[in-house]
A = this chain, B = another copy of it.
Amino acid sequence: MDLTALRSENPDHWNKAAAIRALTLDAVAGANSGHSGMPIGMADVATVLFEKHMKFDVSAPKWADRDRFVLSAGHGSMLIYSLLYLMGDAQVTLDQIKNFRQSGALTAGHPENFLLDAVEVTTGPLGQGISNAVGFAMAEEMLRAQFGKKIVDHHTYVIAGDGCLMEGISHEAIGLAGRHQLGKLVVFWDNNNITIDGQVDLSDRTNQVQRFKSAGWHVQEIDGHNPAQIDAAIEAAKKSKKPSMIACKTHIALGHAAQDTSKGHGALTDADQLKAAKDAYGWTGVGAYDVPAEIKSQWEEIGKRGAASRAEWEGRFAEQSQQKQDRFTRVFALEAPKKLSATIKALKKQISEGQPKVATRKASEMALEVINPIMPETVGGSADLTGSNNTLTGDLGVFDTDNRKGRYVYWGIREHGMAAAMNGMALHGGIRPYGGTFFCFTDYARPAMRLAALSKIPTVFVMTHDSIGVGEDGPTHQPVEHLAICRATPNTYTFRPCDAVETAEAWEIALTAKETPSVIALTRQGLPTLRTEHKLSNLTEKGAYVLAEAESKRQVILMASGSEVSTAMAAKDLLEAQGIGTRVVSVPCMELFHAQDEAYRRKVLPAGPVRVAIEAAVRDGGWDRLLLGERGQEKKAGFVGMEGFGASAPAGELFERFGITAAGTVAKVKELLG
């Protein structure tokens, strides 16, 4: 492609965009790995966006009222690194660009929010970014309603590729944005007609323009290399009250030999072709990683564009009431309110005294009833199972186009989109989202749940109907491997509380966590209160603890979580009646137990007694380590649980059929005692 016309029409713009292109080529060639095509293709859009529209101050990448920029097509990470380096970001130095994708570099293969302050969100798994962005835009609407337009008033911009738009999650995200008319969300579709396997047509012929319109979006189609068209489209998008999609016709790897081919998607490393592309950009004689001083300086000016806005914002912020300032600061710092602790303690006391027999999903609602009024930053929701997940409390109000103050979201049948949008809300700051579905449908939300763990987002997943206790709905709705899945995922608290007290404790931990998501697995069926003696301290924080000590000489330790803790207690009664001393250990959170020191762990699980774990799930959910000892000290250990999928029948019959009962536990213990 002859770039002469493009270069001559608007040389100032061209050179700024060319800097992104050249840095991308150099960094990818240096790493011999990465994706050149997208940053090169979208350089014009990014340049116009940052030069003319983004409210961004490179010296304060965490300023609360900045515009958010989400690179949903995260493989094009050199786009974001180039922009940050050019604008003078403190972290993305030239050295970082030169160490793109190398060990220890902040410029990782995909942009990671936990490495760079200016990266809003980790992206790479396709379709996540655009869905996170829906959460960013919802958070902005909510906080603007709460704090006022003087304090919160910004846009969320997204670059998404064909991959993002083909992934199913994009449908959920687009539907949500359209339903809620998130007018401050602007998505640029990098319409380059290329995927890894070849032309998009190989696998898809969707009319994206018509598709977005069907979901209630404002749609424009432009030449993605024409700065005037880009600028005008962003202007129009900002004025639209609907979410905007700007279809940007681009050439992947523009100006490179691999332009418009799937080869252009990946790492372009051929030295001669690299030189030819740079020549076409007008970059002849410029060394690797070099940016002509004038162009660098223009970019640095762009990096400072937002400084004035920020100063004005700070002035406006200082004019707010102290209370409002304090709350804003607190919620953006993810600090729980001081009274949370006392509130949870009071609830625990009330439960220990009243000893209700309730499902833990109901207990979760009881906790939320006291939490939500004192934590205005919580936002609840459910993927169309509100009445089953017990996630709605009376004070929240429903988020809608005419009620941006509403703190409850009817997410629809969109577990994945909900999870990703919640991640976005949390990353936006100022919001602590929680959302519910059936525990089995963890499966649908799984890619976003992994990203919450990986990118250190304290999203709370309220997962009810956590076992065969689901009953008649049968095996498709009965989790057996999902505790194992959540526990195997690093940096995830998997709570399975045994009663209303532990449920309150789990909520307290989940809502004070700053870098760890929580899964709270809750029963459909009623459970007795087991923590009948009020304790001020949060025992769930230990992960596992002695719930009931052996009365006779200790021969047995029963371990269990959730609904099976009461089974263990019933088995203990049977065993003690036969003179077999039995300790019961409640294990509401294995991750937290593993984090305790060895002395504590040994105290809870001393060597000697027969150990039996009881959980209505597969044994692979981490029990072997507790049963057998980390170095296998235990010689006699057994498991009472599931070995396969469940079945459709009333819940009580299923527990009998699968032997997850006090009698089944006693039989296992006696077999081991010999």
Contact = CB atoms under 8 A, between A and B. Distances in A.
A620 B590 CA distance: 12
A210 B214 contact: yes
A634 B625 CA distance: 12
Interface in A583-634: 618-622, 624-625, 627-629, 631-634
A159 interface: no
Contacts of A346: none
Interface stretch (A162-170, A183-191, A332-340, A529-537): A162-170
B620 A631 contact: no
Contacts of A648: 101, 105, 108-110, 112
Interface string A113-130: 000000000111111000
Nearest to A624: B624
Nearest to A638: B631
A206 B175 contact: yes
* Of listed A75, A171, A643, A654, residue having the most chain B CB within 10 A: A171
Given A170-B168, A481-B488, A649-B103, A472 B109 contact: yes
A41 interface: no
A85 interface: no
A215 interface: yes
A34 B649 CA distance: 11
B168 A74 contact: no
B620 A444 contact: no
A206 B213 contact: no
A644 interface: yes
Nearest to A385: B196
Interface string A486-529: 01111100000000000000000000000000000000000000
B631 A636 contact: yes
B210 A487 contact: no
B628 A162 contact: no
A387 B410 CA distance: 41
Contacts of A9: none
Nearest to A198: B410
Interface in A422-457: 440-441, 443-444, 446-447, 450-451, 453-454
Interface string A207-230: 111110111100000000000000
A281 interface: no
How many residues of A sit at the interface, in one of the four size bands? 35 or more
B206 A125 contact: no
A299 interface: no
A469 interface: no
A650 interface: yes
B33 A168 contact: no
A316 interface: no
A475 interface: yes
A644 B491 contact: yes
Interface stretch (A42-50, A89-97, A141-149, A413-421): A413-421
Given A125-B476, A172-B167, A385 B197 contact: yes
Given A163-B413, A195-B384, A632-B634, A473 B109 contact: yes
A420 B634 CA distance: 43
A394 interface: no
A657 interface: yes
A472 B34 contact: yes
Contact of A477 (B109, B416, B473, B644): B109
A387 B388 CA distance: 45
Contacts of A410: 197-198, 202-203
Contact of A631 (B33, B127, B211, B637): B637
Nearest to A166: B413
Contact of A454 (B198, B441, B638, B645): B645
Interface of A: 31, 33-34, 74-75, 101-105, 108-110, 112, 122-127, 162-164, 166-172, 175-176, 178-179, 195-198, 202-211, 213-216, 382, 384-388, 410-414, 416-417, 440-441, 443-444, 446-447, 450-451, 453-454, 471-477, 480-481, 484-485, 487-491, 618-622, 624-625, 627-629, 631-638, 643-645, 647-650, 653-654, 657, 672
